Amino acid sequence: MKLQEIVDALRAVRDVETNHKGLLALRRQLHRSRPASDQLLCAYLQQSPACSELQAIWDVQVTAKEPKVTLELLGCLAALLAYSPSSSCEAAARQRITTGLDLLAGAILQRRLKQVYFLLSSNNRQRSNAALDLLTALAGRGGSTLRELCAAFDFSLSVLPKLARPPRLAGNGGGLQESGGLAGKGGGEGQQQQQQVPAHWEMWASPAVGRRPSRAVFVEWGFFYVGLFSQATSAAHASAAAHLDSIMLSVSKDDAGGCDNPTCTDGSIQNGDLSDAG
């Protein structure tokens, strides 16, 4: 799709298929070879400096609750916020990209954190993973975005330790169950359990964020934040670090493994909800 076709699709907020197609096309364009992606993103931000189409989609999805649009939106936002212009990008274009994405990050932190909390607490692996991926991309921007995130985000959320829990073997039948509520069913013990656990861990570094274990995405998120906080000295950073250090310490002490901090890659996610309590 060409840029104007993408923008038109993004503006079709009541047409689920067209809207989803536009989001998917924009995210794919961001993963094109440089400098083509630089040029497209710069042109888009020149036309829409604060990514107003994406913010309008989020507004609609709070009530519309179309799963594939919601999570494709979150994936697209994370890809945008994690975007870094190539070394060949001209100074003016680089400035436009940086300024536009900083505006987008600020809008999310000012208007969307309540909905992010809802996603984290949804007891749905795909939604919580998408929210963690978005938070990682926000923190990765560093500077004022990181400072604002540390001051605004509630790192004492009770759901965070739950997302860090390892999968467990269900009591009846040996099925594998995650904190996100995905439980295996069927008879048999011993060998069946041994077959299911490796199958679960094979998804640890899946390119599809929504298919990865919640623990995998949380551990990656936690290590990323702890690394950033270790270089900062503000009170907000210290408070956030204290909460995360406690959770990550418990992760390092359990016997489930999975602290290799694998790299998260982009992928398609398929089921979500952006509604909140107010």
Would you state the pLDDT for residue 207?
Answer: 67
Supply the pLDDT for residue 274: 57
Residue whose tokens read 């094979």? 202
User: Pseudo-torsion of CA 189, 191, 197, 202, nearest 10°?
Assistant: -150
Strands (E), the chain: 168-169, 176-177
More confident residue, 17 or 34: 17
User: For all residues of the chain together, what is the average pLDDT?
Assistant: 80
| pTM attached to this predicted model | 0.80
- Report the pLDDT averaged over residues 160-184: 55
pLDDT of 157 reads: 93
Each residue's pLDDT tens digit, 183-214: 333 444 444 444 455 565 677 666 677 778 88
Instruction: Check whether 2 has a pLDDT greater than 80.
Output: yes
Distance between CA atoms of 153 and 212, rounded to whole angstroms?
Answer: 24
Over residues 208-233, mean pLDDT: 79
pLDDT tens per residue across span 105-151? 999 999 999 999 999 999 988 999 999 999 999 999 988 898 899 88
pLDDT of residue 266: 35
Candidate ranges 153-157, 237-241, 248-252; pick with highest mean pLDDT: 153-157
Tell me the Cα Rg of the chain.
Answer: 19
For residue 227, give the nearest of 120, 134, 139 by alpha carbon. 139
Q: What is the pLDDT of residues 146-165, one digit of tens each?
A: 889 988 999 899 999 999 88
pLDDT score, position 175 = 37
Rounded Cα distance between 230 and 241, Å, is: 8
The residue extents of the domains of the chain are 1-111, 123-167+197-278, 168-196
- Using pLDDT thresholds of 50, 70 and 90, give the confidence band for residue 169: very low
Q: How far apart are the first and last CA of the chain?
A: 36
Which segment of 4-8, 14-18, 19-23, 231-235 scores lowest on mean pLDDT? 231-235
Mean pLDDT calculated for residue range 246-258: 68
